[in-house]
Amino acid sequence: MRIAFVSSEAVPFAKTGGLADVSGALTKELAGRGHEVALFVPRYNGVEDKAEGVAVLASNIAVAMGDRTEMLELSGVKRDGVQVYLVGHDGFFRRPELYRDPSTGKDWADNDERFIFFSRAVLAACRHLDWIPELIHANDWQSALLPTYVNTLYENDSEWAATRTLFTVHNIAYQGMFEADTFGKLGLEPGLWYPGGPFEYWGKVNFLKLGLEFAESLSTVSPRYAEEIAGSNEYGFGMEGILSRRCGDLTGITNGIDYDIWNPETDPHIAARFSAGDPAGKRACKEALQKEVGLPPSAHPLIGIISRLADQKGFDLIGEVSETLLSRDLQIVVLGTGDAKYHELFDALAARYPEKLAVALRFDNGLAHRIEAGSDMFLMPSRYEPCGLNQLYSLRYGTIPMVRATGGLADTVEPYTPTSGTGFQFETYAGADMLDMIDCALATYRDATAWSRLMKRAMEADFSWPAAAARYEALYNETRSKPKRAQAERNPA
């Protein structure tokens, strides 16, 4: 089928998080399954440098923006069987960061206009190319307006009559919330704005809510996370009512990972290659990692952490028990950036425990690979985690994940028993419970035979993209068979 996959970021063109990995890998897998896939991404600064052969296809495609018109410059390149279209507008996208103004540390003030333009530009580009997709797969709030426009602006347009939409939530905490005057920028009938309607959310416009209201099908990135966000305000962030009402249209599909990139048998970033059948090279990777980050050689377990340093990722728990944790026979290496309070915490702890803790407060892809390969365990104590990718990378590298039982972490890490399991979990979000889990893992590590078997099970777990892509393919087919969203269905009240 003809699939328009629309994302505000995609590897290798632009990345701030896991959405980019999913967008790059899933589209490649879908193309490999015989579908005609077009990936639409904004043309940010430096995007053209990420792939050879980028060519301008059209320079002056008119895009309606409320009471004005902006011009789209559309570029394209074919990559891994996927036709990539770069949505260009220098004023909106040629900026130093994707979503945030580095001079203020806050979101760009015109993010509403930037992503209104992005959604409308995708539709204008499809028309210009004479390529109307059968399925539009929109992702997160930045492209949530696509289902909205298809089912309002083009609701009675015969050209789009066969088009259906899927909206995927990768992290429901990020919603694209704007003041009420943003509605006037959408270019829709004024009568669509009224209290309690799809376009109004506590007096504001919420882009993510619109995607949830207008798409024929909804998905998120793990079955457990689908249950969590539809079941409580703690996880649903105000969207649980819509999701509960639309639970029959909501599917959880666990992300895959690209084993062409994350594979200890072929990884060019690591000191030695290894596999489930021949894991000997992992020892050399550990020794090389210890040397690189300035930790002394040690037979004690090495715990890796690669993350955004924020409360959501469980760093408040780590801070709570850090002194007790570092009294154990272990070493820890941390890679990431985030909240200033955690930069200060880890800098102080590294100064006090230089033989036990190494910290790299930056983004470093090569070092991320070497931490996955050289660590014995990987810690992810997230408060919530839609899917998570690092625990999947860790499994592949025989680096045993220790996780909080939430979202995709609960779905992908099977709790350890002497005869089964691939990692360790804790349930209650508390520092003491996390510490108990780590102590259990440390005790298991001291049993070399049990640990070797655990590593083998972890490395043989399969989270490659083909299985996930097959589930998306089935969801696409189901979505195509649904009737278009009617106004009464969008607002049953």
In tens, the pLDDT along 95-115 reads 999 999 999 989 999 999 999
Residues 318 and 369 in one domain: yes
Do 422 and 480 have their domain in common?
A: no
- Do 146 and 159 reside in the same domain of the chain? yes
The answer, yes or no, to whether residue 473 has pLDDT greater than 60, is: yes
Q: Are residues 373 and 473 in the same domain?
A: no
Specify whether the backbone of 66 is left (phi greater than 0), alpha (psi in -120 to 50) or beta: left
Strand residues in 407-474 grouped as ranges (E): 424-426
Which residue shows structure tokens 């909106």?
92
Mean pLDDT, range 186-195, rounded to an integer: 94
Beta bridge partners, 56, equal 75
Phi then psi for residue 199, to 5 deg, are -90, -10
Residue 109, phi-psi category: left (phi > 0), alpha (psi -120 to 50), beta (remainder) = alpha
Predicted confidence at residue 256, as pLDDT, reads 93
Report the pLDDT value the prediction gives residue 51, as an integer from 0 to 100.
81
- For the segment 190-212, the average pLDDT, to the nearest whole number, is 96
Tell me, yes or no, whether 207 lies in a domain: yes
Instruction: Please report whether residue 273 resides in a domain.
Output: no
Q: Which pair of structure tokens corresponds to residue 391?
A: 């625990």
Residues 10 and 102 in one domain: yes
In whole angstroms, give the CA distance from residue 244 to residue 262: 36
pLDDT value of position 52: 85
Average pLDDT over residues 395-405: 98
Does the pLDDT value for residue 488 go beyond 60? no
For residues 210 and 471, the answer to whether their CB atoms sit within 8 Å is no
Q: Are residues 471 and 457 in the same domain?
A: no
Q: Is 361 domain-assigned?
A: yes
CATH number at residue 445: 3.40.50.2000
- pLDDT for 476 equals 98
Domain identity same for 413 and 471: no
**Residue 47 has what pLDDT?**
86
Residues 189 and 92 both lie in one domain: yes
Q: Is the pLDDT of residue 493 over 60?
A: no
- Report the percent of the chain where pLDDT is more than 90: 94
- In the prediction, which pLDDT does 258 show? 87
The predicted structure's pLDDT at residue 491: 63
Contact 75, 129 (CB under 8 A): no
Structural domain including 124 reads: 2-256+467-490
Q: Please indicate, yes or no, whether residues 368 and 486 belong to a single structural domain of this protein.
A: no
Instruction: Provide the pLDDT for residue 16.
Output: 87
Statement to judge: residues 450 and 475 lie in one domain: no
Mean pLDDT confidence for 145-166 = 96
Residue 448: inside a domain: yes
| pLDDT, tens only, 414-447 | 999 999 999 999 999 999 999 999 999 999 999 9
Confidence of residue 489 (pLDDT cuts 50, 70, 90): low
330-366: pLDDT as tens digits: 999 999 999 999 999 999 999 999 999 999 999 899 9
How far apart are the C-alpha atoms of 224 and 392, rounded to whole Å? 16
- Identify whether residues 243 and 98 lie together within a single domain: yes
Q: Evaluate if residue 93 carries a pLDDT over 70.
A: yes
Tally the domains of the chain.
2
- Percentage of residues of the chain with pLDDT beyond 70: 99
- Asked if residue 6 is part of any domain, the answer here is yes
Q: Which band of pLDDT confidence, cut at 50, 70 and 90, is reported for residue 490? A: low
User: How many CB atoms are located within 10 Å of the residue 27 CB?
Assistant: 26
309 & 403 share domain: yes
pLDDT for 141: 98
Residue 251: the pLDDT is 98
Q: Which whole number is the average pLDDT over 8-13?
A: 94
The verdict on residue 263 lying in a domain is no
State the pTM of this model: 0.92
* Mean of the per-residue pLDDT values of the chain: 95
How many Cβ atoms are within 10 Å of 371's Cβ, its own excluded?
31
pLDDT digits (tens, 9 = 90+) for 273-291: 999 999 999 999 999 999 9
Structure token digits, residue 64: 């309606």
pLDDT at 49: 81
pLDDT at 18: 86
pLDDT score recorded for residue 355? 98
The pLDDT, as a whole number, for residue 492 is 59
